[in-house]
Amino acid sequence: MYGFYLFEGSFHQGGGGWERYEVGTGLDQVKTAAARYIREGWWVANPGDTCAVRVYRGGEVEHEAAVYPFTRVKVPGFAWISFDDKGRPVGGEPEPGGRHEGTAPLDLWGAVLPEALNECPGEIEVTIDWERMALPGLEPPLLPEGASLVVDHAEGTATAFGHDLSDEEHDDLTDELYDDLSDDQVILTYGSNDTL
């Protein structure tokens, strides 16, 4: 089996939810996906979402790290936001003299910050201390581009398939595998994946 990184940004509640994944062998690919997910601000309206990086070796999770405890976010007009060890945001008070000064905390997190995130997504600063997170490097063989995976979250395993098949054979096999997936399993491709 192969080595690869897997970023997951997801939220599930009451039978619904969404998942964003990035599968790759380059740490820069995962860093970009994590920063993009955080910049989108899902954490404001969905406390308790998953934002994590997993390192797979030989088809099994060797290391997992929550991203939020290593993250700081700066939204224009607000103080820096950091996260506690459970991923809950801390800080983010309106800056003195700004248009949101004096906003009640409930309104701040319920409406004002989400609106501010939508108004200026390109101006949101995200810093993640990847050095302190200390993710281990990958060991060969590395997941080939074009591969797909059946990831089993409960078992902490991933089985690669499809990189040596024609597109038609790959699609047929994917359809067969979808029929047998458990609730803890998902099929992902190398690169970006969004599921609902």
Over 70: is that where the pLDDT of 15 sits? no
- Are the beta carbons of 4 and 25 closer than 8 angstroms? yes
Residue 112 lies in a domain: no
DSSP 106-128: HHIIIIIHHHHHHH-GGG-EEEE
Residue 95 lies in a domain: no
Give the pLDDT mean for 168-189.
94
Residue 148 lies in a domain: yes
Residue 13 lies in a domain: yes
pLDDT tens for residues 161-172? 999 999 999 999
pLDDT tens for residues 148-160? 999 999 999 999 9
- Separation of alpha carbons 143 and 132, rounded Å: 26
- Separation of alpha carbons 196 and 12, rounded Å: 10
Q: How many residues in total does the chain contain?
A: 196
Give the pLDDT mean for 53-79.
96
Over 80: is that where the pLDDT of 48 sits? no
DSSP 26-56: -HHHHHHHHHHHHHTTHHHH-TT-EEEEEEE
Give residue 145's domain range: 4-31+51-64+138-195
CB-based contacts of 46, cutoff 8 Å, min separation 6: 11, 13
Give the pLDDT mean for 26-49.
88
pLDDT at 108 (0 to 100) = 84
The conformation of residue 151, written as its DSSP 8-state character, comes to E
Residue 55 lies in a domain: yes
- Separation of alpha carbons 35 and 120, rounded Å: 15
Overall number of domains in the chain:
1
β-sheet bridge partners, residue 46: none
pLDDT tens for residues 78-103? 999 999 988 889 999 999 998 888 88
Residue 11 CA: distances (Å) to CA of 50, 62, 175, 176:
6, 23, 25, 27
Residue 109 lies in a domain: no
pTM of the model: 0.91
Measured in degrees and rounded to the nearest 5, phi and psi for residue 65 equal: -135, 130
Over 90: is that where the pLDDT of 145 sits? yes
Residue 16 lies in a domain: yes
* Higher-scoring residue by pLDDT: 104, 64: 64
Residue 180 lies in a domain: yes
What's the chain's Rg over C-alpha atoms?
19
Percent of the chain topping pLDDT 70? 97
